[in-house]
Amino acid sequence: MTTPRDNLIGKRIAVLDKGWIELQDVMGDDLAIVNAARTSFLGESKGDERDKKLLFYLLQHRHTTPFEMVEFKFRCRGPLVTFWQWVRHRTWNMNAQSGRYTAFEENDFYIPAVWRLQSSDNKQASEGELSGPEAEALTAKLLAHYEQSFALYQQALDAGVARELARMFLPGFAVYYTWVVKVDAHNLMHFLRLRMAPDAQYEIRVYAQAIYEHFFKPALPWTAAAFERFIMPELGPIKQ
């Protein structure tokens, strides 16, 4: 029997200019969370209304262990600037593409749609956008930089240099990588709370938003509703 969760497996969402995120597997649902909580006193489902009420109670009062009974597995493609923020969440299990084993492709670099300006009062944030001829010139220079970098990378490979050294020519934070990650629902909500926040960097915020809207909410509608009631208000208005 096909369930709504089954229809999510294999679904891929485009992110940024060349990136994507794909749900490879999901274990458990809202009822799995409720049943895990009731295991403490050997209980079981008591109908949708009472089950949902219990789930809301759990999240409101931060009884988070039952949420660890649900797991998501994703395959992602994004620039290294995204991956290096993602990998800081050490509760995720992950494995990433290696430039030692696989050669990079031409044009496998992130091109920002806009040039954000540095925030005047937050050292790690942006505020506003650069526009007009100056922004267009920067994009042209970035493209030229990518083209030259890849040409040098290819020259090194053609000369027989090992891939692990030839990649030194590539623009580090812009090159696209593919990685596989797995996380439980509790730690995924922690990730979403931080990475969907208004001050999160755009290049990871769009991945967090894609996960939430296209995978988390459809797979765990009760949990998502509780998350929106008890956790989301802490984030403030979410940037699009």
- Extract the tokens encoding 61: 């009062």
Tokens for 174?
């812009």
By 3-state DSSP, what share of the chain in percent is helix, strand and coil, each rounded to 5? 50, 20, 35
**Active-site option among 163, 195, 205, 229:** 195
Residue with token string 């369930």: 3
Q: State the DSSP H helix or E strand holding residue 15, giving kind and residue range, or none if neither.
A: strand 12-15
Q: Could you please report the per-residue DSSP string of 74-133?
A: EEEEEEHHHHHHHTT-TTSEEEE--TTTSPPPTT-B---SSEEEEPSS-TT-EEEEE-TH
Closest CA to 94 of 106, 111, 78: 78
Q: Is 195 a catalytic residue?
A: yes
* Gap between the Cα atoms of 182 and 70, Å rounded: 11
- For the annotated catalytic residues, the residue numbers are 195
